[in-house]
Amino acid sequence: MNEKDEIRHKVWNRLTENKLGRFPFPLVGRIPNFKGAEKAASYVQSMDFYKDAEVVKVNPDAPQLPLRASVLKDGKTLLIPTPRLKDGFVMIKPEWVPRGEERKAASIKHMNTYGKVVPLTDIPAIDLIVVGSVAIHRDGRRLGKGEGYADREYAILREIGNNPVPVITTINSKQLVGDDIPRDSYDLAVDWIITEEGITETHTPYPKPHGIEWEHVTEDEMEKMPILKELKGFSRGTDL
């Protein structure tokens, strides 16, 4: 087990032992669904850059469902990466969702019913990015579940010309770690950490990816994620 995995398992075990996890179980191998997710989402809603945002990209994992639903309730366009980026991104506009059905629309099971998969050329400018995490250091270094999707999603959006925007994560406060989290050049650091206890700005010193580091993309990943093939043929944006 490498150092990153050791930190992940420490957090998964801590949440499990303190009974801070929620369905789905086990927490191991997932972005853990945590008690306090609704409170963390409400703190996000209080932030000025959230209030000003028109389009918000939120990861598809269970603990961010309350926030995805809030994005639609608040009249914002929601962009959700499909699981494992197999089909790229699903866009859901608030006017496509009948009042009272926002949580259902924001669920992975039903997002395609209310939204639609959008090609790279139709992805709107995104104002705020939310990522799930397993472990977070107060300086913004994060660990996901180990498959690199949040890093890659951010890199894809930068490749197509999206400007740098705030990156936040919602976690339980027990997911904060003091460990010296190792970093790779393609890892995504976060600007804000929101827990059930409140909001912390990281003032992270770590640069974010400017785009896909193609030397780290395998042939197998190209086959499993057609969006990467689409991106290869995409005319790169000019405002990176």
CATH code for the domain of 227: 3.40.50.10420
pLDDT band at 143 (very low <50, low <70, confident <90, very high): very high
Domain assignment present for residue 178? The answer is yes
**Is the pLDDT higher at 86 or at 65?**
65
Domain assignment present for residue 240? The answer is no
**Is the pLDDT higher at 234 or at 141?**
141
pLDDT in tens, 157-199: 999 999 999 999 999 999 999 999 999 999 999 999 999 999 9
Domain assignment present for residue 217? The answer is yes
The 3-class SS string of 4-37 reads HHHHHHHHHHHHHHCCCECCCCCCCCCCCCECCH
pLDDT in tens, 71-107: 999 999 999 999 888 888 999 999 999 999 999 999 9
pLDDT at 140: 98
Helix axes 37-45, 65-73, angle to 10 degrees: 40
pLDDT at 240: 37
Does position 230 have pLDDT exceeding 90, yes or no? Answer: no
Instruction: Give the CA distances from residue 15 to residues 22, 111, 149, 171, 236, in Å, rounded to whole numbers and listed in that order.
Output: 10, 28, 22, 11, 41
The closest of 125, 123, 127 to 53, measured between CA atoms, is: 127
134, 31 contact by CB (below 8 A)? yes
> Can you tell me the mean pLDDT for 33-55?
98
Domain assignment present for residue 239? The answer is no
Domain holding 11, by residue range, is 3-234
What's the CA gap between 64 and 131, in Å, rounded?
Answer: 8
How many structural domains are present in the chain? 1
